[in-house]
Structure 1
Amino acid sequence: MRLNDKVAIVVGAGQSPGEGMGNGRAAALTFAREGAKVLCVDHHLESAQETEAMITAKGGTAAAFKADVTKSADIKAMVKDAQTRWGRIDVLHNNVGVSLSGGDAELLQLTEEAFDRVVAINLKSCILAAKEVIPIMRAQRSGAIINISSMAAITTYPYVAYKATKSAMIAFTEQLAYQNAEYGIRANVILPGLMNTPMAVDTRAREWHKTRAEVEAERDSKVPLRRKMGTGWDVANAALFLASDEANFITGVTLPVDGGASVRRG
């Protein structure tokens, strides 16, 4: 019960269609298993409700909330709902993000509309959510913010908007950490590597007109550790540590969860 009696907002707690477990849903389930009350936020209410049902079926406490996290009014309502419902906010987990599914592309094929969409979903939502929870956490003199970036931020990656936004998320997290440390608020960012999630694998299979098995094998071959992608549970376990009091003296950290991909040079 590492998050016993804590209140967590998981933004992106639903998941894309496909096989396996997404990072956001895995985080919501993990936080609840460890005692947190979890507000499961997603723009697809049905998907958030599925996550809520999975939590309550195991005896946990959760509520589903529909939000377009690119809209300030929806972010305000999300935070108000969690605070009104449970009286405080201890953890903000920003997991939402898109790349190919948002229309991202290499530079010469990138449209202005796709760029604006990816920036709004990946970066703007993260900043707006932090803006709303920081006053609450400052008043509490405690809180943990975990942002999900990507190894794409620090490695070669072809799609422009995703790489740019995930890089910016690292800088924003560092700024959050430094400017809010005196209030007892911690902010850290996780960089997932190649993950076997519906968004990462099934989306590519659809876009590239390949089978899921083909995409999975191609991605597995690039992972140093056991030649096997990670899963949403690997990201969730890292987030659990950063959300818990075990990470009480850790803030401003960029944590790769990547099967050793980041140690390769050249």
Structure 2
Amino acid sequence: MRLQDRVAIVVGAGQSPGEGIGNGRATALTFAREGAKVLCVDHHLDSAQETVDLIAAKGGTAVAFKADVTKNADLKAMVADAHGRWGSVDILHNNVGVSLSGGDAELLDITEEAFDRCVAINLKSCILAAKHVIPIMRQQQRGSIINISSMAAITTYPYVAYKATKSAMIAFTEQLAYQNAQYGIRANVILPGLMNTPMAVDTRAREFKKSRAEVEAERDSKVPLRKKMGTGWDVANAALFLASDEASFVTGVTLPVDGGASVRRG
């Protein structure tokens, strides 16, 4: 019960269609298992409710909340709901992000519409969610913000908007950490590597007209550790550490969860 009596908002607590479990759903389940009350936020309310039902089946506490994260009013309402319902907001976990599913592409092929969409979902949502939660956390003199970036930020990733926004998320998290340390608020960012999640694998299988097994094998072959991708649970466990008191002296950190991919050079 490492998060007993904490209130957590998990943005992106549903998941894309496909096999396995997504980072957001795994994190919501993990937070709830460790005692947190979890507001499960997603654009698709039915998917968020599926996460809530999984939590309730294990005796946890969670509520589904529908939000379009590109809309400031929705993010403000999200924070107000959690705070009004449970009296505090101790953890904000920003997990939403799109690349191929948002129309992202290489430089010569990307459209203005796709670029704007990716920026709004990946970066603007993270900044505005923090804007609304920071006043509550400052008043409480405590809080943990965990942003999910990507190894794409520091590796040779080909698609423009995803790489740019996930890189910017690291800089924003460092700014959050520095400017809010005096209030007891911590901010850290996780960089997942190649993960076996519905968004990462099933989306690529559909986009590139390959079987899931083909995409899975190709991605597995690129991972140094055991030649096997990570799962949503690996990201969730990292997030649990950063959300818990075990990380009480950890802020401004960029944490790769990547099976060793980031240690390769050249």
- After TM superposition, the score normalised by the length of structure 1 is 1.00
Q: CA deviation at 1:111?
A: 0.1
Q: CA deviation at 1:251?
A: 0.1
Q: Do residues 211 (structure 1) and 216 (structure 2) align? A: no
Indicate the SS of the match to 1:31: helix
Indicate the SS of the match to 1:84: helix
Q: CA deviation at 1:31?
A: 0.1
Q: CA deviation at 1:84?
A: 0.6
Q: CA deviation at 1:90?
A: 0.1
> What is the alpha-carbon root mean square deviation over aligned residues?
0.2
| Alignment partner, residue 117 of structure 1 | 117
Indicate the SS of the match to 1:194: coil
Alpha-carbon distance between aligned partners in 2 of 1:265 and 1:83, rounded to the nearest angstrom: 45
Any idea what the Cα deviations from partners look like across 1:18-39, whole Å, max 9, x if unmatched?
A: 0000000000000000000000
| Alignment partner, residue 34 of structure 2 | 34
Any idea what the Cα deviations from partners look like across 1:93-125, whole Å, max 9, x if unmatched?
A: 000000000000000000000000000000000
Q: Do residues 59 (structure 1) and 59 (structure 2) align? A: yes
Q: Do residues 240 (structure 1) and 243 (structure 2) align? A: no
| Alignment partner, residue 224 of structure 1 | 224
Any idea what the Cα deviations from partners look like across 1:40-71, whole Å, max 9, x if unmatched?
A: 00000000000000001100000000000110
Alignment of 1:103-142 (within 5 A): 103-142=103-142
Q: CA deviation at 1:203?
A: 0.1
Alpha-carbon distance between aligned partners in 2 of 1:109 and 1:204, rounded to the nearest angstrom: 18
Alpha-carbon distance between aligned partners in 2 of 1:94 and 1:238, rounded to the nearest angstrom: 14
Q: CA deviation at 1:230?
A: 0.1
Alpha-carbon distance between aligned partners in 2 of 1:99 and 1:3, rounded to the nearest angstrom: 32
Task: Kindly provide the amino acid, as one letter, of the partner of residue 57 in structure 2.
Answer: A
Alpha-carbon distance between aligned partners in 2 of 1:234 and 1:112, rounded to the nearest angstrom: 34
Alpha-carbon distance between aligned partners in 2 of 1:88 and 1:195, rounded to the nearest angstrom: 32
Indicate the SS of the match to 1:41: strand
Task: Give the gaps of 5 or more residues in structure 2.
Answer: none
Alpha-carbon distance between aligned partners in 2 of 1:98 and 1:212, rounded to the nearest angstrom: 19
Moved over 2 A (4+): none
Alignment of 1:173-188 (within 5 A): 173-188=173-188
Alpha-carbon distance between aligned partners in 1 of 2:166 and 2:187, rounded to the nearest angstrom: 15
Number of residue-to-residue matches in the alignment: 266
Alignment of 1:1-150 (within 5 A): 1-150=1-150
Indicate the SS of the match to 2:108: helix
Task: Give the gaps of 5 or more residues in structure 1.
Answer: none
Q: CA deviation at 1:214?
A: 0.1
Alpha-carbon distance between aligned partners in 2 of 1:79 and 1:130, rounded to the nearest angstrom: 9
Alpha-carbon distance between aligned partners in 2 of 1:75 and 1:56, rounded to the nearest angstrom: 24
Q: CA deviation at 1:163?
A: 0.1
Alpha-carbon distance between aligned partners in 1 of 2:260 and 2:143, rounded to the nearest angstrom: 30
- After TM superposition, the score normalised by the length of structure 2 is 1.00
Indicate the SS of the match to 1:189: strand
